[in-house]
Amino acid sequence: MVLGDLEREGELVITCPSIQLIADRVAEAVLAVVPNTTLSLDELSGVRSLILHAIWDKRFFDWEMPTLTGFNADEFKQIAEKLPHA
């Protein structure tokens, strides 16, 4: 529906006979980058606890962990603070 609205508003031009194929491809692309929203509050809280535990345990979160994950301990702490508290 949104693609049809955008076309009517002159924001884009669709040149194929069926908009469904385009809509399906856009939806698949969006789902590839949108986080899974079916996680419960308890599950998100558990992930938060896991992150905090991991960064406080220097035996686990060693010098190699930022290379493996792309985030250092301080960045993981900031991520964990965005997650719900139990």
Residues 14-26: pLDDT tens digits? 888 888 888 888 8
Q: Helix or strand or coil: residue 72?
A: coil
Asked if residue 76 and residue 52 are part of one domain, the reply reads yes
Q: What is the tens place of the pLDDT at every residue in 56-86?
A: 999 999 999 999 999 999 999 999 999 998 6
**Distance (Å, rounded) from C-alpha 18 to C-alpha 53?**
51
Report whether pLDDT(36) > 90.
no
Asked if residue 75 and residue 50 are part of one domain, the reply reads yes
Element (H, E) at 48: helix 41-56
**Distance (Å, rounded) from C-alpha 77 to C-alpha 52?**
7
pLDDT of residue 73: 96
* Domain encompassing residue 7: 2-33
Report whether pLDDT(27) > 80.
yes
User: How many domains, in total, are found in the chain?
Assistant: 2
Report whether pLDDT(39) > 80.
yes
Asked if residue 47 and residue 23 are part of one domain, the reply reads no
pTM of the model: 0.59
